[in-house]
Amino acid sequence: MAQIPQGYQDVPEESRKKAQVFFKRAETVAGTGNYEYAIEMYLQGLNLDPDAVEAHQSMRDISLKRRASGGKSVGFLESMKLKRGNKDDRQAMLNAEKLLAYEPGNTDYMVSLIQSAYRAGFYDTVMWVGPILLRANADSVKPAPDFQKFMILKDIYKELRQWKRATEAAQQAVMLRPDDMDLTTELKNLGAQDTMDSGKYTEGGSFRSSMRDAKYQEDLLEDEKDVRSLDFLSRAIVQAEEEYATDPTKIGKLVDALLKTEKKEHEDRAIELLMKEYETSKQFRWRLAVGRVRLTQLNREDRIRRAEVAADPQDEDLRNDYREFLKKRLEEELTEFSLAAENYPTDMNFRYEQGRRLFALERHNDAIPILQQSRNDPKHRINAGIYLGRAFLESGFVEEAVDTLRQCLEEYQIKGDDKSKDVYYWYARALEAKSDLATAVKAYSQVAQWDFNFRDVQSRIKRLR
């Protein structure tokens, strides 16, 4: 059984299934020639399943077709935003891949993609883009092949124990610097290492498949053993506490050990440690981590309270308590996302989540400018547009609501899915508020043709007719 190099990140099966929805949409949209939208659909799917090699290749095929048909690179401002350093390696990988999709021959973007994918642990993606980078760099004429890019490839392959590919990259580097004796010696050693490690690591296959095999074998051997047992986790915490006491830089290991228990007292200890580090270093990433823990606790409490209400739906006190909790949860989430948005003003994910909470708390006038900002991010353009249109409607700006929702309707090209129903429904509501009843009925009718039982479209159509 092949061993998996440390750091590999396996993607949960549920995320892979969700990603397939976006990949199928992308394939459909690409067939109409709308390559930009197809690329965006692929990127959204890859955000869920970053190691989906077939999707990476399909998006690259589309990007090459787009380039051949005269497609241009992304605009200057967009490229600057995507090139900006991102501490989230997954997002950095997707940013690089978007740039590459719009400029498929750019080897700098290929380097950014493979380095980010490697740091994030998406090794199948590394193995997919590596040969593309090697070939593109080797075939480069103006500029000439870049020695450093071959060295980057070699080093990454070495870390993954992909000796044959590391050898190939080293050979290309030696051709550029034949007098480099250290490199020549390393090239010889790579061949010997390949022989020594033969069969221990996946060679040319799929890390994902190897991981599945490894998990299957582990399940057979450890059928009755719970590696997440409390005793195991408690020992991990004790060990991490000891290391942290002598080396405070090991705070991450201790926090991880505490959070794995999913127990509030340990999570509170993690929050305490993170807040202390934040107050000492003034680096907001520690405060951001505190927010993530708090949101996790709120999610867990929500599940517990919902289950209690479901078990006894006639208990009015339980229902009232749950309503109060939901408001409290929204307010705490708003605090966290607002703080994150303030410290990371270019990250529209935080802006979008901030706007959603403001809307849910019925602070519509406050939500409008936040949603307008988050709409500039293609990932949130439609969803933020729906909320923005509804916020305009709730605030009495009916014309603005109609225009905003009509724009969403025109921009969202998939028809008949849940999001398109939502757009048409709220567009009809805005038209109804504007007293444009004939157009409103047509929009409601379109929703009814897709889903006859969607919300209250039946009664609204009958009433307006």
Residue 308 to residue 244: CA distance in whole angstroms: 39
Tens of pLDDT along the chain (465 residues) come to 445 677 888 888 899 999 999 999 999 988 888 999 999 999 999 999 999 999 999 999 999 988 888 888 877 777 777 877 667 889 999 999 999 999 998 999 999 999 999 999 999 999 999 999 999 998 887 788 899 999 999 999 998 888 889 999 999 998 998 888 888 888 888 867 766 655 444 444 566 665 454 444 444 444 444 444 556 677 888 888 889 899 999 999 999 989 988 888 999 999 999 999 999 999 999 999 999 999 999 988 998 888 888 888 888 989 999 999 999 999 999 999 999 999 999 889 899 999 999 999 999 999 999 999 999 888 899 999 999 999 999 999 999 999 999 999 999 888 888 889 999 999 999 999 999 999 999 999 999 999 999 999 999 999 998
Can you state the percent helix, strand and coil of the chain, rounding each to 5? 75, 0, 25
Question: In one letter, which amino acid is 86?
Answer: N
Residue 258 to residue 438: CA distance in whole angstroms: 59
Written as six digits, the tokens of 223 are 């059928």
Residue 204 Ramachandran class (φ > 0 left, ψ -120 to 50 alpha, else beta): left
Which residue's entry shows tokens 């500029």? 143
Residues with Cβ within 8 Å of 95's Cβ and at least 6 positions away in sequence, in order, are 82, 83, 86, 112
Residue 121 Ramachandran class (φ > 0 left, ψ -120 to 50 alpha, else beta): left
Residues with Cβ within 8 Å of 197's Cβ and at least 6 positions away in sequence, in order, are 161, 163
Beta bridge partners of 201: 3
Would you tell me the crossing angle of helices 89-102 and 107-120 to the nearest 10 degrees?
A: 160
| SS3 state of residue 201 | strand
Written as six digits, the tokens of 386 are 């729906």
Written as six digits, the tokens of 182 are 């250290």
Could you tell me how far CA 172 lies from the centroid of its own chain? 34
Question: In one letter, which amino acid is 124?
Answer: D
Residue 122 to residue 117: CA distance in whole angstroms: 5
Residue 280 to residue 272: CA distance in whole angstroms: 12
